[in-house]
Amino acid sequence: MKFFRNLSIKNKLIVIVLSVSILAIVTGFTIVAIQDIHIFKEDLVNATTMSTAVVGEFCAVGLSLGYDKQVEEELGMLLKPMPIIENGYIYDEKNDLFARYNKSGLDFEPIFIDREKFTLFAGEFLYNFEPIFYKGKKVGSIYLRSSTALLSRKINKYLLTMVMVMLGMIVLSYFLALELQRVISKPILKLAGVTEDISQQADYSIRIQKKGDDEIGKLYDGFNNMLEQIQLREKERDEAEAERERLFGELEEKNKELEQVVYVTSHDLRSPLVNIQGFSRELEYSLQELSALPGIDSIPAGLKKKFSLILEEDIPDSLKYIKTSASKMDSLLAGLLKLSRVGRAEVTFSQVDMNHLMQEALHALEFQVKELAATVKVENLPPCFGDEMQINQAFSNLINNALKYLDPQRPGMIRISGEKQNDYVVYCVEDNGIGIAEEHQQRIFEIFHRLNPDDSSGEGLGLTIVNKIVRRHSGKVWVESFPAKGSKFFVRLPTLG
Ligand code: ADP
């Protein structure tokens, strides 16, 4: 059955048509042959029975009178011209052999069955036994033995002819099946060919031409409809892809522009700022010089008090504000510059040994760790795939925050772990610090967003930089935190598999 299943449609159809034809031909011919052979045998039986009766009738007078010589002569004379009769015996009424005829001159052993008359096929002979009557009284019987060689030859010849005709018809059926199978296999093979063309060329504009309205015609219609749908979807997908590409390009352009603006402004704003800082210092010196001028004591007392207020309080206070604002601006600009550098820096992707990277990052933070007497535990970390410098910067920021936001009321504990998950590694920087309230957990990744600006130093850029770096690696950063308990910062980065 498996062999049949793997045959081509063409061969399957030929096998089916041929099997049905052979079955019909062989069954039909067998039935006809059995009937004909039966008729042949019946004809021979009828002919020999008639000959037996006629010869018996002819010998009846001689037999009734006891003329055995005459009866034997008559028997020979009558049976000799009949080629199939081999032996003929006449028995008297006591069943004693009365006269005989042997074609070959040799006697034979007659077969008797307990009947008054019979016809019997045995071996290569046909046996006929008939009673002989004279004037209504049984005077004896006649026994003829005929050869069936002629009948066998006739049957053999007949069977040979039948087999030849049968073979001829089977061959004819094969050619007919070969021709007729095309009606079904051709359109299916055509469909298979078109399907292959389409899958190779990915050309969904091809259509298949139907020839009729049968099931195959309907199959063609369905196939063409399906192609139309695919073509339509392809078109929609291409258009959506083109639109996406366009928007992506636009976004990239805008991003670049924005980064350029941030870079240029943060860079260029620093020189006027340096001027502000420089000239504020100059003003400070000038103020000191002005206060030290000798003639100041000769100023009238009322004016002197006003002068002192301006020189010792108003101007120094204003200068103090200018200096703190300028230094605040300086650190903000430095932060912006740092952020824009992260976006602009070339990334070189490679397999990163995170155990080694973490050692280096912690080495740089050794002083802070010691000062805070914190315990830092690093578990065995799986490697990731990315830019070593940027990943170092991201984790340095996270560890730095973990240290910065520890709770002074309890010993600081920091744990760094990592776990491989399919094509990614998820690292976790966990601390038992002050924690973050749920409503702030999303916003801490926004630029310049700080929760308690007066409690600690910083520009609110650390996590923005972490987010930017992780996104450049097609990764993700998120936080789980509980106030007064601690925070867990998760970083998902790709691996090489
Ligand atoms: P910065 O630390 O300079 O303020 P970040 O962007 O690194 O800026 O952090 C933003 C804010 O998120 C911080 O001001 C702080 O309030 C909160 N934060 C960050 N990390 C932690 C942490 N590990 N535990 C508690 N709060 C944190």
* CB of residue 194 inside a 6 A radius of ligand 1: no
Output the CA 266–ligand 1 centroid distance in Å: 23
Higher pLDDT, 458 or 410: 410
pLDDT at 85: 95
pLDDT at 205: 87
pLDDT at 157: 97
Residue with CA at minimum distance from ligand 1 atom 16: 451
pLDDT at 275: 92
Beta strands 486-494; 424-431: pairing state: antiparallel
What would the mean pLDDT of 454-472 be, rounded to a whole number?
90
* CB of residue 405 inside a 6 A radius of ligand 1: yes
pLDDT at 332: 85
**Is there a contact between 472 and 347 (Cβ–Cβ < 8 Å)?**
yes
pLDDT at 268: 86
Task: Identify the band that residue 496 occupies on the pLDDT scale cut at 50, 70 and 90.
Answer: confident
Output the CA 400–ligand 1 centroid distance in Å: 9
State both tokens at 451: 């929760």
Measuring CA to CA, which residue among 377, 374, 438, 376 is closest to residue 407? 374
pLDDT at 108: 85
Residue 212 in this model has a pLDDT that exceeds 90:
no
What would the mean pLDDT of 274-285 be, rounded to a whole number?
92
Model confidence, pTM: 0.57
**Is there a contact between 181 and 169 (Cβ–Cβ < 8 Å)?**
no
Question: Which ligand 1 atom minimizes the distance to the CA of 459?
Answer: 3
**Is there a contact between 414 and 376 (Cβ–Cβ < 8 Å)?**
yes
Output the CA 435–ligand 1 centroid distance in Å: 9
pLDDT at 186: 87
Output the CA 199–ligand 1 centroid distance in Å: 55
Task: Identify the band that residue 290 occupies on the pLDDT scale cut at 50, 70 and 90.
Answer: confident
* CB of residue 462 inside a 6 A radius of ligand 1: yes
Q: Which of 398, 414, 439, 444 to mutate to test the pocket of ligand 1 (most atoms within 8 A of CB)?
A: 444
What would the mean pLDDT of 217-228 be, rounded to a whole number?
92
Q: What is the 3-state secondary structure (H, E, C) of the chain?
A: CHHHHCCCHHHHHHHHHHHHHHHHHHHHHHHHHHHHHHHHHHHHHHHHHHHHHHHHHHHHHHHHHCCHHHHHHHHHHHHCCCCCEEEEEEEECCCCEEEEEECCCCCCCCCCCCCCCEEEEECCEEEEEEEEEECCEEEEEEEEEEECHHHHHHHHHHHHHHHHHHHHHHHHHHHHHHHHHHHHHHHHHHHHHHHHHHHHHCCCCCCCCCCCCCHHHHHHHHHHHHHHHHHHHHHHHHHHHHHHHHHHHHHHHHHHHHHHHHHHHHHHCHHHHHHHHHHHHHHHHHHHHHHHCHHHHHCCHHHHHHHHHHHHHHHHHHHHHHHHHHHHHHHHHHHHHHHHHHHHCCCCCEEECHHHHHHHHHHHCHHHHHHHCCEEEECCCCCEEECHHHHHHHHHHHHHHHHHCCCCCCCCEEEEEEEEECCEEEEEEEECCCCCCHHHCCHHHCCCCCCCCCCCCCCCCHHHHHHHHHHHCCCEEEEEEECCCEEEEEEEEECCC
pLDDT at 182: 87
Q: How many C-alpha atoms does 296 have within 13 Å on its Cβ side?
A: 14
Output the CA 456–ligand 1 centroid distance in Å: 9
* CB of residue 458 inside a 6 A radius of ligand 1: yes
Task: Identify the band that residue 258 occupies on the pLDDT scale cut at 50, 70 and 90.
Answer: confident
For residue 124, count CB atoms less than 10 angstroms from its CB and return exposed for 0-12, middle for 13-18, buried for 19 or more: exposed
Task: Identify the band that residue 210 occupies on the pLDDT scale cut at 50, 70 and 90.
Answer: confident
Question: Which ligand 1 atom minimizes the distance to the CA of 429?
Answer: 23
Residue 297 in this model has a pLDDT that exceeds 80:
no
* CB of residue 340 inside a 6 A radius of ligand 1: no
**Is there a contact between 63 and 93 (Cβ–Cβ < 8 Å)?**
no
**Is there a contact between 397 and 465 (Cβ–Cβ < 8 Å)?**
yes
What would the mean pLDDT of 282-288 be, rounded to a whole number?
90
* CB of residue 445 inside a 6 A radius of ligand 1: no
What would the mean pLDDT of 430-454 be, rounded to a whole number?
92
163-172, 376-385, 406-415, 446-455: which has the minimum mean pLDDT?
A: 446-455
Instruction: Name the percent of the chain lying above pLDDT 90.
Output: 68
pLDDT at 304: 81
Instruction: Name the percent of the chain lying above pLDDT 70.
Output: 100
pLDDT at 490: 98
Output the CA 129–ligand 1 centroid distance in Å: 130
pLDDT at 215: 87
Output the CA 325–ligand 1 centroid distance in Å: 22
pLDDT at 431: 98
Residue 41 in this model has a pLDDT that exceeds 90:
yes
Residue 298 in this model has a pLDDT that exceeds 90:
no
* CB of residue 460 inside a 6 A radius of ligand 1: yes
Measuring CA to CA, which residue among 329, 347, 343, 342 is closest to residue 265? 329
Output the CA 335–ligand 1 centroid distance in Å: 15
Mean pLDDT, the chain, whole residue set: 92
* CB of residue 441 inside a 6 A radius of ligand 1: no
Residue 301 in this model has a pLDDT that exceeds 80:
no
* CB of residue 450 inside a 6 A radius of ligand 1: yes
pLDDT at 43: 95
pLDDT at 375: 97
pLDDT at 143: 96
Q: For 129-179, what is each residue's pLDDT tens digit?
A: 999 999 999 999 999 999 999 999 999 999 999 999 999 999 999 999 999
Task: Identify the band that residue 53 occupies on the pLDDT scale cut at 50, 70 and 90.
Answer: very high
Residue with CA at minimum distance from ligand 1 atom 19: 401
Task: Identify the band that residue 343 occupies on the pLDDT scale cut at 50, 70 and 90.
Answer: confident
* CB of residue 44 inside a 6 A radius of ligand 1: no
pLDDT at 150: 94
**Is there a contact between 309 and 435 (Cβ–Cβ < 8 Å)?**
no
Q: For 397-420, what is each residue's pLDDT tens digit?
A: 999 999 999 999 999 999 999 999
Q: Which of 365, 436, 438 to mutate to test the pocket of ligand 1 (most atoms within 8 A of CB)?
A: 436
* CB of residue 444 inside a 6 A radius of ligand 1: yes
Measuring CA to CA, which residue among 462, 373, 445, 384 is closest to residue 418? 384
Output the CA 439–ligand 1 centroid distance in Å: 14
pLDDT at 410: 93
